[in-house]
Amino acid sequence: MRSFNRTWLFPLLVAMSGLIPLGLQAANENCPTLEEMAASYRFPFDNGLYATVVGYQSVKPGKLPNQRKIELAIPTFRDKVPVRAILQAERAPLTILLLGIFGSTSGRFERVWPGWLAEHGHHVLTLDSTFLPYFTKASRTGPAGNVEAEAERISEIIAAFLERPEVRGRVSEIGVVGISYGAIEALQLGRMAARGQLPFEINALNAFSPPLRLDKTAEMIDEWHRKDRWKYTLAQLSSRVGDVKPGADVSDSELRAAIAAEMRLNLTGVVMASDSIFGLNALPRGNEFDDYYKREEYAQAWTFSKYMHDIAYPYWREQRGYRSFDDFAASFDVHLLLKEQPAYSRTFLTMDDPLNRPEDAELIRRHAAHLGVVILPNGGHLGYVGTPWVRERLTSLYECAGQGNGVPVSARK
């Protein structure tokens, strides 16, 4: 019997771009407008849940023979941070790929976009998700979930990578591409760039399917876990959803249950790491024989909303002075982030993304032209990431950078 696949959803963030070897060029006159990009989009599934699972699982991973693992020493970090990089022999653009909430550089999907980028002559830097326990342990920044603080740490990682002897002087442009949770981090970096807060220059940025209100997404995942998860065993979900093929007859309830189970299985380690590393005493302790298992048992019952309200927010309120949970949530509100993006920033959203509330998606749709957003009618949450349409968007990352927001920050509504 197959084990339950715990890495098929919320992959890493990735970026792609066309080869422009000798400096950032002005937007090509042949580059499509945001509206033309949307008009050329086609995706076969109209059910957002189905698209989320089937579309992602249909992506075929490739081999990355030239990718190397590098451990970076960051002055403010306690431990070294492992990253994966592909370096070209000549001077080239560097594209940084930021993954989804539980994305790992060793994952299945995470080998697709780096391969596309490398084929187009790019240096590629891929980072594991900053939400993972190992990152919390290495950075000691604070409990996972403060996207603003994690983007600051990402900027330090990028800066350290640029100073490596094999990289220094060989980067012509820098681009950032993120997916899901990583897309929010990419937009955070875009805002930092617009404010002049980065130690390097970004030339292009693409954000694919950032959850528009992360706190509301957490509530939806928790609700799916309550209402759908316990209708099925993990073995049933693995059999029915673990490797579902296009055309398979799978119910929405099964899809919601599988997504929720995937997310909650991964959350347990995050809760335990944050509680232990920062001495929060949020979990009860056992004796010398069963302490770990008792803490794990309680952590398994934690919801995403409980984690955000009882661990992430209280800690960061003390560290950064958030006045309320709503104030904390505003730091990762995508609508607010989009208002402060540089002109080269592009964001891609689907209207049937099951991880967004319809009213939040509609708010973005109404202001898409002023926010540098390409609105797609369907595709679910990242179900479209393996399509030729996405590959074209990524391979034109630098060439069409001027076809992003295009509105000066000072004039944006």
Contact 397, 15 (CB under 8 A): yes
Question: What pLDDT digit, counting tens, does each position of 6-37 carry?
Answer: 333 333 223 222 222 223 334 456 788 889 99
pLDDT more than 90, % of the chain: 73
Question: What pLDDT digit, counting tens, does each position of 295-331 carry?
Answer: 999 999 999 999 999 999 999 999 999 999 999 999 9
Domain boundaries, the chain: 34-49+56-213+330-411, 216-327
Reply yes or no on whether the pLDDT at 244 is more than 90.
no
- What pLDDT sits at residue 60? 76
Question: What pLDDT digit, counting tens, does each position of 96-148 carry?
Answer: 999 999 998 877 777 889 988 899 899 999 999 999 999 999 999 999 999 99
Helix (H, G, I), strand (E, B) or coil at 90: coil
On the 0-12 / 13-18 / 19+ scale of CB atoms within 10 A, 403 is buried
Output the CA–CA distances (angstroms, integers) from residue 413 to 244, 284, 336, 338, 372, in the order listed.
43, 48, 10, 10, 12
For the residues 48-64, what does the mean pLDDT come to? Answer: 83
Q: Which CATH architecture has domain 34-49+56-213+330-411?
A: 3-Layer(aba) Sandwich (3.40)
On the 0-12 / 13-18 / 19+ scale of CB atoms within 10 A, 186 is buried
Q: Given pLDDT bands bounded at 50, 70 and 90, which one contains residue 343?
A: very high
Own/partner pairs for 302-306, CB < 8 Å, 24+ apart? 302/267, 302/268, 302/271, 303/218, 303/222, 303/225, 303/264, 304/218, 304/219, 304/221, 304/222, 304/263, 304/264, 304/267, 305/215, 305/218, 305/219, 305/222
Q: Given pLDDT bands bounded at 50, 70 and 90, which one contains residue 175?
A: very high
**Distance from chain centroid for Cα 28:** 28
- What pLDDT sits at residue 410? 40
Query: What does pLDDT average to over the chain?
Result: 88
- What pLDDT sits at residue 402? 62
Reply yes or no on whether the pLDDT at 407 is more than 50.
no
- What pLDDT sits at residue 28? 56
Q: Provide the token pair at 190.
A: 């875009």
Reply yes or no on whether the pLDDT at 409 is more than 70.
no
Strand order in the sheet with 204-208: 68-72, 81-86, 123-127, 92-98, 171-179, 204-208, 345-350, 373-376
pTM above 0.85, yes or no: yes
Reply yes or no on whether the pLDDT at 403 is more than 70.
no
Identify which of 406, 399, 361 has the alpha carbon closest to the alpha carbon of residue 172: 399
For the residues 181-195, what does the mean pLDDT come to? Answer: 97
Reply yes or no on whether the pLDDT at 189 is more than 70.
yes
- What pLDDT sits at residue 134? 92
Read off the DSSP letter of residue 348. Answer: E
For the residues 286-299, what does the mean pLDDT come to? Answer: 89
- What pLDDT sits at residue 54? 87
Q: Provide the token pair at 223.
A: 């609700």
pLDDT more than 70, % of the chain: 90
Q: Given pLDDT bands bounded at 50, 70 and 90, which one contains residue 412?
A: very low
Reply yes or no on whether the pLDDT at 231 is more than 60.
yes
Q: Given pLDDT bands bounded at 50, 70 and 90, which one contains residue 203?
A: very high
- What pLDDT sits at residue 404? 53
- What pLDDT sits at residue 1? 32
- What pLDDT sits at residue 9? 36
Alpha carbons within 13 angstroms on the beta-carbon side of residue 378 total 11
- What pLDDT sits at residue 286? 82
For the residues 320-347, what does the mean pLDDT come to? Answer: 96
